[in-house]
Structure 1
């Protein structure tokens, strides 16, 4: 058979399994889907990379997305990192154990100096204060991103003077004053010196009867204070007036027991007393009475506080110099007594001043604080005269109204002008010229003659100079010449 006549047999069709076909179709579909997804991922990655390059937002795997508005983030962080005392962005933070509250180091120093014995935020029992270095690192990052959030240079300088960056310990609580002698019954309880065998070495000559022992002879509350007794001006407990431990303030006329709280229930010699509430410069910063002494001129107060800090001057040192200055005056403390500065200082009834013009020797802590506030401004005037202040402070122009200026609360005006100007003392009249001054003050009857022109002496017809006397109110304003000198005297 020839080769050309050969025809290959047709290939029989291969049977197709429907399930296998379906499985294959799914595989093809999955492969196509996977390929498309992979391309989408690539496209998405490229888009995301392009977006990063355009916006220049660094992002690492596992990190949270950083908000585009950095100022909003800085503002939120600044609010979260506020000091619990001054409510400003914390500076040189410290942490209190064990409550873990944080504050400015300088704020915590002031808290301790003012008698704080626990956490300023939660008032919980605390033991130590240590620098909070991890938070300081966060603050450094925040201030690099937002420098405008930093505290002012003046605030940082003042804080650095208070806090040196070391650990501190909170002091143990001070001894609490004893509870007031409140009588739940109708009878007065005996004072410490009324008790037989008391540890104070002295007993009342007429002791108060203990109502628990002899209620029939006990002293009734409605009858007032028992004779020979009074209430302590500090702890408000009953005391014996003749007792050796009892002292009396010569200013407020209140007695103190000398038993309740050592160093506080006492009227001490004037020069050695502690003014109540003024232990250090921090107390002056927080006292509104100090600002009232300067007519609410905050600029002058800050100048004084800077001076005290630089010179390391304590309130007690100021108080002693004020007392020495007042005692050197001819009338000593009499002007203060006439101003009634020491009236109603204590809630207790005060005794009667036997001689208002008598010298004063004993003073209580509350009255010492009044003396301190009375002389603080004049003391700083005398200190300024020593020339230790900065040249920029001393070079300011004096305000025309001085201490009476009504614009002192305006910071711009207070920074530009000096208001620490000594008040001119009132002129003291000369006793020798009293008749002449009285004649000058006495108006003469009005006359029809014209008022002569202002002059000192007018010669008469003989050439002898005679004094000119003016009628009406004008005479009160004309200076009177001394007979033997040309020194004018104040009327």
Structure 2
């Protein structure tokens, strides 16, 4: 039986009129179970857009203090970078940098050239053995960026101009270190030690006929230092040690008259045939660049010297080849080496005393390294004058006008003048006077310009008979219509003119 007391409740769904929210809105407010890729992309783009707008707002609203702090930070960075890019030689911001291999230290190109010219054979920073110097292009790019941001860091215009005159941007090679000569055999005692050939059973196969007594063995018969060099001995011109003059290893230079032992340093303690010798301290173009004597050959004209250096590098000409051509040219001249000997080029080239000098015109067959260097420097400029005639130089070099003063110009140290004018002009002998001029000068000296006075005419002898030689004396007489003529005058009292007849 139904319970009529319990009321029935019916639940009706709400209508759209009763609730303002539409069904579409209800569906939009619902949370989805998973997000699609498109929704994630839209969300990412929205966040990126919001960040850009925020950054833009921050920049626009950045206070002046923050901008000043950023500028100060940039200046500090430029200063720190300039400090790190200092040259190891001049301690300034590196200019046209070069890098040394294999140590990889960098320097200004001009500083490295001056280092080589002054005798440097290794890295200027670490003193390590180095082989080549090349332009450092990556570092140059960093310098360009730095100077665009901080132009005030650049070197002065004068410094850049001087550096460009020294370094041309080419690859260089550091000269190889030279072998040092052994130290002289300094004797602390008051006696001379025996030479290498004085020792019995020495390894050189020859014993000195006048051996020197070893002061450590027989001090009573030792040779005192105050007595000078023992007979049959001398001092080597290279190592300055005692040598035996008659030894088969001993050689003598025919130019400086100094002997060499042939034992101390191989290839140096020797006087070789002239054409086969090596000039001292001149092995390659690098040695020429660092030799001050080479620049003196060109009257300190660095422009002409550098033109020769570039020519030698381009033509691959070695100093030894130049030396041989100079010697061949000198030997072909009538006097050969006589002009060099008369100029005393080979006097006191060594620290040891020289032997007796033969006649100046005596033949010369052997030469030492120091004298070979003197011959090289003597003929270097004339050799390059002859070499220029082959036409291998650039047109810009050959087209320069000749300087009026030539090699005697006193402005050759002025770089602007040296670049504009050519000073490599052969030395010409002073022009001789014409034969007609010489004859006129001789006649003017022989003939007086005014006629002689009567007092200048010799008086006749007081007595005695005149000889034929005395009776005719030639005296110049002046005529009104011509030059003075010589007429015979007889020593007769009637023929002697008086004062009135002369006017």
- The TM-score, its normalising length taken from structure 2, stands at 0.66
Cα distance, 1:371–1:52 mapped onto 2, change above 3 Å: farther
Structure 1 distance, partners of 2:265, 2:429, is: 43
Q: Tell me if the contact between 1:192 and 1:239 (Cα under 8 Å) persists in the aligned partners.
A: yes
- For residues 421-464 of structure 1, give each alpha carbon's deviation from its aligned partner in whole angstroms, at most 9, with x where no partner exists: 111146799xxx9xx98994892141327xxxxxxxxxxxxxxx
- CA deviation vs aligned residue, 1:281-340 (integer Å, no higher than 9, x gap): 111111111111111111111111111111111111111111111000000000000001
State yes or no: 1:299 paired with 2:303. yes
CA spacing shift, 1:129–1:178, aligned 2, 3 Å: closer
Give CA deviations for 1:31-64 in whole Å, capped at 9, x if unaligned: xxxxxxxxxxx9x966773659978969xxxxx9
Match of residue 211 from structure 2: 207
Aligned-pair distance for 1:145?
3.5
Gaps of 5+ in 2: 1-54, 149-153, 452-482, 485-503
Q: Write the deviation string for residues 100-157 of structure 1: whole angstroms up to 9, x where unpaired.
A: 854579988998999977653354xx46779999x86444211234386689777665
Cα distance in 1 for residues equivalent to 2:61 and 2:252: 85
Report the equivalent of 1:218.
222
Question: For structure 1, which runs of at least 5 residues remain unmatched after alignment?
Answer: 1-41, 59-63, 450-467, 470-491
Q: Separation in 1 of the partners of 2:424 and 2:134?
A: 42
In terms of Rg, which structure is larger?
2
Relative to structure 1, is the Cα distance of residues 426 and 329 closer, same or farther in structure 2, using a 3 angstrom cutoff?
Answer: farther
Q: Residue in 2 aligned with 1:91?
A: 97
Query: Distance in 2 between the 1:85 and 1:284 partners?
Result: 27
Aligned pairs for 1:52-201 (under 5 A) are 65-67=73-75, 76=83, 78=85, 80-83=86-89, 89=95, 91-94=97-100, 101-103=105-107, 119-123=123-127, 126=128, 137-146=138-147, 157-160=168-171, 162=172, 176-201=180-205
Task: Name the counterpart of 2:446.
Answer: 444
Rate the CA distance shift 1:448–1:428 in 2: closer, same or farther, 3 A. Answer: closer
- C-alpha contact (below 8 Å) 2:195/2:212 kept by paired residues: yes
The residue matched to 1:93 in structure 2 has which SS? strand
Greater mean alpha carbon deviation, residues 348-357 or residues 87-96? 87-96
Note closer, same or farther for the CA distance 1:437–1:179 as it changes in structure 2 (3 Å cut): farther
Three-state SS of the structure 2 residue aligned to 1:292 is: helix
Which residue of 2 is the match for residue 308 of structure 1? 312
Alignment check: 8 A CA contact 1:82 1:90 kept: no
2:26 aligned residue: none
Following TM superposition, by how much is the alpha carbon of 1:253 offset from its aligned partner in structure 2, in angstroms? 0.7
Give 2:356's aligned residue. 352
For residue 75 of structure 2, give the secondary structure of its aligned residue in structure 1: coil
| 8 Å CA contact retained: 2:280, 2:372 | yes
- Contact between 1:268 and 1:363, CA under 8 Å: does it hold in 2? yes
Q: CA deviation at 1:243?
A: 0.6
The equivalences for 1:418-429 within 5 A come to: 418-425=422-429
Shift of 1:411: 1.5
The equivalent residue for 1:394 is 398
Q: Mark the CA change 1:333 to 1:69 in structure 2 (over 3 Å): closer, same or farther.
A: same
8 Å contact kept, 2:402–2:423: yes
Deviation at 1:277, TM superposition (A): 1.4
Say if 1:96 and 1:102, in contact at 8 Å, map to a contact too.
no
Q: Distance in 2 between matches of 1:285 and 1:96?
A: 22
Per the alignment, do residues 445 and 387 of structure 1 end up closer, same or farther by CA in structure 2, a change over 3 Å counting? same
Deviation at 1:158, TM superposition (A): 4.8
Question: How far apart in 2 are the matches of 1:120 and 1:68?
Answer: 29
Taking the TM superposition and a 5 Å limit, the aligned residue runs for 1:282-431 are 282-425=286-429
The count of aligned residue pairs is: 388
- Note if 1:232 corresponds to 2:236: yes
Question: Normalization by structure 1: what TM-score?
Answer: 0.67
1:243 pairs with 2:247: yes
Q: Does 1:277 align with 2:281?
A: yes
Decide whether the 8 Å contact of 1:345 with 1:366 is kept in 2: yes
